[in-house]
A = this chain, B = another copy of it.
């Protein structure tokens, strides 16, 4: 995968001393799953079996990763994915931005990119389940909690 990949899009280009740093998105699913695990560890998520993460990525409708490229080195700095019926509904899962890159609007840009992609596939119902501390983040992006009293519900075994 490279920035010339049709699945990739350059977001920003920053020249810093002699090195150019680029932030770009990719929808390529061929992600190093240990690098993804490192990213998820950095935000304190519980570890998940690599085998299941691979399966989840393969069976997601859309995967958007965010990368920083400095010279030849690429670093995974953000991730998100969505499940879907490819027709009406999509549900966004696993939105993560590396703590070193938070507070720069990159999470917002990642989400905009994901929503735009979903909309371009004619998905009208874009949904997610937000932890309490990110409800306002999503609200600012145009997500509404409990619209018309619709409740997000989770099943728990007895």
Contact = CB atoms under 8 A, between A and B. Distances in A.
Nearest to A85: B56
A87 B60 CA distance: 10
A89 B87 CA distance: 18
Interface in A90-147: 91, 93, 115, 119, 125-132, 135, 138-139, 141-147
A48 interface: yes
A155 interface: yes
Contact of A153 (B55, B127, B154): B127
Contacts of A130: 150-151, 153
Contacts of A86: 55-56, 58-59
